[in-house]
Structure 1
Amino acid sequence: MLTFTDVSLDYGSFRALHEVNLQINEGELVVLLGANGAGKSSIFNAASALRRISGGQIRLKDTDLARMKPADVVRAGVIQCPEGRKLFPGMSVQKNLMLGAYLHRGDKAGNRSRLEQILELFPMLTDRLNDPAGALSGGQQQMVAIGRALMSRPRVLLLDEPSLGLAPLVVKQMFDVIQHINRAGTTVLLAEQNAHAALQICDRAYVVEGGRVVLEGTYESLSGNEAMRRAYVGG
């Protein structure tokens, strides 16, 4: 579904990604694990064409994403929910959600149905639709950010650090929802520092260090790796 082949990315003279190879198959939930600054967000920004790669290829099936503009990547169905949520705090929750439906603004019935599905996923947003997004708790704001991404009808959903700064109970709820989204048919690439929680819901994981993929495997293989457990999982 989504393939990185020898992808490098530079920020000026700094090389953020070094010949990264990834493969996310249709219907999978794949996790990128790594510390802050490891290169996870750079991988997402390369996939979204927010940063031009210095070498390699990024393909969505047969489509070359690296040569596209960011808006065309969204039209192709690769939708990023960014780290830090990036909501419009003074706008209502509903308006923030509907921004995700911009490409489908002519399909009013479809957007209503999609909004209803999102409110089923996040029922606590139902009574907050008219409230400013900035008045919500961190967990509720993350729900809005994910909901906005889902309104775009993604083929591949890129979730960048959705658990960051959230209470443990909210993190569990968030991961349950992400697993539900995947089981409903959306391919998910999830970037996370919370390795223990992420590994329990994923099909496979890649470990990123210094802009390089250093490990790949399933929960069983990675949690059994001594170096991996010390660095990311604990115990």
Structure 2
Amino acid sequence: MLALDQVSLNYGSFRALDGVNLHAREGELVVLLGANGAGKSSIFLTASGLHKAAGGSIKFQNRELVGMKPSQIVASGVVQCPEGRKLFPQMSVLKNLTLGAYVHRSDRAGNQKVLDEVLGMFPILDEKKDDPAGSLSGGQQQMVAIGRALMGRPKALLLDEPSLGLAPLVVKMVFEVIQRINQAGTTVLLAEQNAFAALRIAHRAYVLERGRIVLEGDRESLLNNEAVRRAYIGA
């Protein structure tokens, strides 16, 4: 469904991605593991069209994404939920959510239907829909960020470090929501440093180091891999 083939990315003279090959099949939940700077966010930014690949191919449903505008990529069904949430703190929760539907702005009835589904998934956001997004707790802001991405009607959802800075109980809730989104049929790519929580809900995973894929496998094989456990799980 989503496939990267020999994708490279440069930041000036720095090689951020070096011949990355990965794929996510329809309905899969695939995790990208790696330390800060390993290349997880670079993969998402390149797949989203926000950074221009230096080489390689990125295809979604056999359609080449390299060279497409970010808005076209969103309209095709690939939607990113960025690291750090990137909300507009002075704007209301509702306005932040509706911004996610910009590429579908002509379909008001469809957008209302998706909005109702998002607010049903996150009832606290319905209660706080008129509040400034910046006034919410960290966990609630992450709900807004995920909800905004869902307003883009993703077929493939790219989630970048959704557990960052959240309390353990909130992290548990966020991962339960991610699993529900995937079980409802959305393909999910999840970039995470919280390896144990991510692998528990994953079908497969890739490990990145210095812009390269160094290991891949299914959930069980990586959970039981001693090197992965020492580096990312702490056991």
Give TM-score scaled by structure 1 length: 0.98
Shift of 1:35: 0.7
In the other structure, the counterpart of 2:89 is 89
Q: Structure 1 regions of 5+ residues with no counterpart?
A: none
Equivalent residue letter for 1:233: I
Cα separation, 2, equivalents of 1:148 and 1:201: 22
In the other structure, the counterpart of 2:205 is 205
In the other structure, the counterpart of 1:216 is 216
In the other structure, the counterpart of 1:8 is 8
Runs of 4+ in 1 over 6 A off after TM superposition: none
Matches within 5 A, 1:1-235: 1-235=1-235
Cα separation, 1, equivalents of 2:107 and 2:73: 20
| Percentage identity across paired residues of the two chains | 68
Q: Structure 2 regions of 5+ residues with no counterpart?
A: none
Cα separation, 2, equivalents of 1:216 and 1:183: 22
CA deviation vs aligned residue, 1:29-66 (integer Å, no higher than 9, x gap): 00000111110000001101111111111100221101
Shift of 1:150: 0.3
Shift of 1:226: 1.1
Corresponding residue SS for 2:216: strand
CA deviation vs aligned residue, 1:61-104 (integer Å, no higher than 9, x gap): 22110121111111111100000000111100000000011122
RMSD: 0.8
Corresponding residue SS for 2:66: helix
Cα separation, 2, equivalents of 1:219 and 1:71: 33
Give TM-score scaled by structure 2 length: 0.98
Shift of 1:137: 0.5
Cα separation, 2, equivalents of 1:144 and 1:200: 24
Corresponding residue SS for 2:201: coil
Cα separation, 2, equivalents of 1:67 and 1:108: 29
Corresponding residue SS for 1:4: strand
Equivalent residue letter for 1:196: F
Matched-pair contact (CA < 8 Å) for 2:9–2:54: yes
Cα separation, 1, equivalents of 2:20 and 2:233: 23
Cα separation, 1, equivalents of 2:43 and 2:19: 11
Q: How many residues align structurally? A: 235
CA deviation vs aligned residue, 1:167-219 (integer Å, no higher than 9, x gap): 00000000000000001111100000000000000100000111000110112
Matched-pair contact (CA < 8 Å) for 2:71–2:103: no
Shift of 1:106: 2.2
